[in-house]
Amino acid sequence: MHLLFMVLFLFSFILAQGETVKQEAESLEEELLRIQVSLEEMEKKYQLRIDELQEKIEKLEKGEIKGEEKDELEALLKEAEEVASQERERSKGTETKIFIGGQRQQQSLNPNISLTGDLIGHFTSAIEEHIENNHSDLEGRKFLLREAEFHIISNLDPYTRAKFFLGVPGLGSLHVGEAYMEWLNLPFNIALKVGKYRTQFGVLNRWHEHGLPQVDRPKVLEKFLGGEGLAGIGTAANILLPKLWAHVNELDVEVIYGGDGVSFTNEGSKQWVGICHLKNYYDLTSNAYLELGLSGAYGHYNTEANLRSMLGGIDLTYKWGPAGRSKYRTLEFRNEFIFGNREDNGNSYGWYSYIKNKLNASWWIGIRFDYTQLPNSQDEQIMGISPHLTFWQSEFVFIRLQYSYFDLSNGRNDYRVMLQSVWSMGPHKHEAY
């Protein structure tokens, strides 16, 4: 009996709820119909008003509008102007005014000019008769301004760029280090360069002295390419090749007039030197890459005897820098091997290898190993080791301390302590190669 009563109660409750839902649905439907009717009425009213305004505009354009309507429109315009004036006065205190004059645009045509200073404190055990065999400017116990260098760089137009590097050694006179113009983004991924420039033989020959990873150039570069490096006046082409066996293949072909005075003569009429460099770039991981380069150079080293000279080179660079953390941690391992052949003097070779590690945002520590024969005498050799410590105060200033020990084949040993300070003023910072 109780069970039957509960069933009847539930059935009645469900019927009542269903009736309630039905009533709410009908009420909602009626409300939607009323809203729809209201919207239609509003649309009609606005359309009528739009038609009236359109008619007035047409009459105004034809000059047929009545005087009182014209006065009404003028009053509305005056009121709008007053409101706009009030808004301008209200925002006058916080408004930023920008003045543009045609004469200011001329600044965009001015080149970027900067200055870099390279100061060396050099202390060595070398003596005078020993210095002559070493062929190095960094000898003796002294402070010297190795060079103050002016950098003038400008985009001439969307297709060309010019660079001038004017150097002033501490004990010398103003000279042109580099002065060249580049055509960029030419068809077939080619860039051309004309003027005086440092050649792309290997890696470090291209670098200016203030941008070197150590205080001095590796001995093999100094002995085979001269203290100033292989540079001259000529033309060069940089070609981004289609992807071959590496992720990026890049070829540099250069012809210059004026050798280094060591492997290639810088006197007489046969100062022409041809240089090529093939770079192969491999992405190893998202944090590391490998770069393998092959170099070659051909010219004369003795014009009177018409004797030819050839150089070959291999460079290998491994660099690791964790993504997003390379400002604080980076490891660089670089090697270059140079092989030389002179027509009447046989073969000679040399190499260097260095590794440097970034400890944090400011400090680098590294070490370089040197070995080289002399191009004109395979019996004379130099071996050396050079640990160094660099503090980057900012991207414009760094200080470097380096100790070098060299074992010479003539039985003498040479140690050096070098303190370097490099600073840069202006947008140049340090040349990127």
What pTM does this model have?
A: 0.70
Same domain, 39 and 183: no
3-class DSSP state of 269 = coil
- Residue 123 within a domain: yes
Same domain, 408 and 313: yes
DSSP tag of 411: S
- Measured CA to CA, the distance from residue 188 to residue 191 in angstroms comes to 9
Residue 402 pLDDT level (bands cut at 50, 70, 90): very high
Interhelix angle for 2-62 vs 67-91, to 10°? 110
Give the model confidence (pLDDT) of 159-197 as tens digits: 999 999 999 887 777 888 899 999 998 998 999 999 999
Percent of the chain, pLDDT > 90? 46
Same domain, 50 and 166: no
Nearest to 354 by CA among 201, 215, 199, 198: 215
- Host domain of residue 45: 15-85
Same domain, 67 and 127: no
Give DSSP secondary structure letters for 4-70: HHHHHHHHHHHHHHHHHHHHHHHHHHHHHHHHHHHHHHHHHHHHHHHHHHHHHHHHHHHT---HHHH
Given this model, what pLDDT does residue 160 score? Answer: 94
Same domain, 77 and 124: no
Given this model, what pLDDT does residue 232 score? Answer: 93
3-class DSSP state of 292 = strand
Same domain, 26 and 134: no
Largest CA distance in the chain: 134
Nearest to 402 by CA among 355, 368, 357: 368
- Number of domains forming the structure of the chain: 2
Cα 377 to chain centroid distance, Å, stands at 41
Same domain, 20 and 137: no
